[in-house]
Structure 1
Amino acid sequence: MEKTGSSIHRKASAHQHKAEVRIAGEQLRLRLHDCKLIKDRRYHLRTYPNCFVAQELIDWLIAHKEAPDRSSAVRVMQFLMDHDIVHHVCDKQSTFKDAKLLYRFRKDDGTFPFNMEMKVFMRGQRLYEHLVSGKNSILQQQVEQGGVNRRVFAGCQLIDWLLQNGEADCRRQGIELCRALLEHGIIQHVEKKHHFFDSPLLYRFCINFRRQRRLAELLSEGGAGEASPAENDPLDSPFVLRKTPPEEEKSSFLSVQPSKEIRVTSTVHRGGVTSQQMTQDGYFPPSPLLPLPLTRCNPKSVLKRSVTREELMCPGAPFVRKVLTVVGDAVGWGFVVRGSPPCYVQAVEPGGPAATGGVKVRQFISQVNGRCVLHLDYRVVTRLVMMGPRTVVLEVMEPLD
């Protein structure tokens, strides 16, 4: 048992290292948007949305003491590039150069590799925020074998919480989700001896989602892989997704959010946002990749033509209204929303919860759980779905043509 547990935790540590890199990269992206270093740029009569110039970014990193010199700053950005956080706008450069070249965050153009590892990471991040922000949190101080553990929870407590909050339909589904979280380095047994069990064994979150990362940690050996314990979270961190009303139209990446609105472009993720089933060993099968765009170096919208809110709301418009119910699975709902506004369905995972509920590409989202969203961009609509109940009721408008 201990040998098997050690193997699981070694694999989880690798996933945890990648999670730390993602969080650090996302925090950097939001800061660059906030200071307007990321913006649409023209080069050779072509516009590249949401880009930054490498030399300008290097100057910014040094000025903000994120790197001591230009070579260290280049190494940091190369590290992010190697982990698919940033890339050259045309993917013609495999190395990050301190030059007047255009680069872009994959999160901004929808080419981020949305694989199963990423989906489990996002689900764990969302659960963490719910648990930490809840009034009656199950994260408590407990004693096990004479030692005091802070912000821990019993395995059976977490399963009960998942059932009570609609995050799992049965205990077996809850156990599968928790085992995936452990294998992907999101949670762990307090002594790193056991896998996840629906029992009084104590577990904790081993990634501190709320801690503000410093880019210098990425260059320190083991720095990115050793997260601070979750019990040391700074509750006043500015990089925390607080459960505020969705009317605050701020973009977000789950646990982090910028202070200002970011310009939206119509893009598409490489994959869906859920998987259907877990394999017997607790891992999720990979989702099929959506085709990459062939023009404009930016993922292409699936819409045949642009549609305005006024057109959708006009009486007699060529659209059919439908009410669909989507029941999320262990890691999500299985569809991608894009648009600024109105929002539309850009991609649907074949056989996933959304496809089962009747969601199709090119449908416009008019309501989410009874709330009109025609005036909201895709970031806010996505947040409404992610932060809402497990069962989502969508009113969609489907083109007749």
Structure 2
Amino acid sequence: MQQRHSDCSLTASQASFHRRKMDIMAIGEELRLRLHETEQPLIKDRRYHLKLYANCFVGREVVDWLVENKEAESRQQAVEVMRTLQDYNVMHHVCDEHEFKDEYLFFRFRRDDGTYPEEPDALAFARGQRIYCRVKLEKNMIKDRKYHLKSYKKSFVGKELVDWLVTNNEALDRQEALKVGRELLEAGVIHHVCDDHHFKDEYLFYRFRNDEAERQKFSDVLGVLKHMSPSARRNMKSKSILPGSPLPQTITSSSSYRRDVPISEEQESIPSGETQSGDEGYYTPMSAIPSGRTPMPVPSPSEEQVVMPVTIEELMAPNAPFIRKTVKVTSDPVGYGFVIRGGRPVHVHTVDPAGPAAAAGLTVGEYLLSVNGHDVLHSTHTEAARLILIGASTAALVTMQRKA
């Protein structure tokens, strides 16, 4: 039976919105923590006309701080930063009567007064920030790690985070801890170092996005939106992500090589309404795989093997020049070793000759009939890739190979 994806996939526009929203929330949380940690605390209890306002800051003082610490180029830009955070419910006026101003007015981060948005992704994000603040104090949890001569800065191991969540009463057992980790990844708090895996209780490397944002200026919150029109900004603020929807991961690429993974071309544009799916890069003990394998080079257009287009009817015709075969590909630390493209039917576009797909007998030009028991004959490459990624580390493929 063909698996339906409409309930679990985000459109490209939804994913883009979600990513921008999470970026803004992360920048806002970093600013909140910095303001709490200043030598002369800017966030503190304040009294005005005999009324106490807990954990608040003065607009003018934060503008001073942003400019003095070169986090904003001018007072006007500092005000724009804070108003953007206010627009996205990161902070607000203590009585909700003013937009942010460079004046003696009291404002408060919603994390500090319990008025944080109740959307599932926002709550997961808030929980993730609390976990991050605790985990970063643990010795040897977040650190630079090396694998096959490549360094992964400020990363942690999935199964070690599961251990920590259970030990520190953030989860009752490993199954609940795994669920927490997946919620954090879907909320954009953590991600696999190559954006290749969902969160798993395995020896996989992940990273908190906070550790990647520390070198940013807080004025970068404006950069998140700088290419958007005013109407698009308003639309972004009014939209909401479907509760529980997973966040498609960004596919990274390089000018010199492509990671060999079961996905479509990284630079291929995504039509409106079609989702982008992440790919898998699986970490196992070094003795389990050849230690010298590296990602395959990107072939030039003249080097690429041309796959002749075929319709489903032509592929499945009784006298068609194809034979059915079954292939099981087990991922190694670099990936599965192949790239898929196209749709209805999906075909194998590239195979790394040194990778596990080649070793299993998969070849360029084969068309996919099923992935892990699910019919993909009428699927797009992103739908087929998702079935590979949500499964275990072995992809069971049924394909049609052109007769020699």
Alignment TM-score, normalising by the size of structure 1 = 0.44
Alignment TM-score, normalising by the size of structure 2 = 0.43
The structure whose Rg is larger is 2
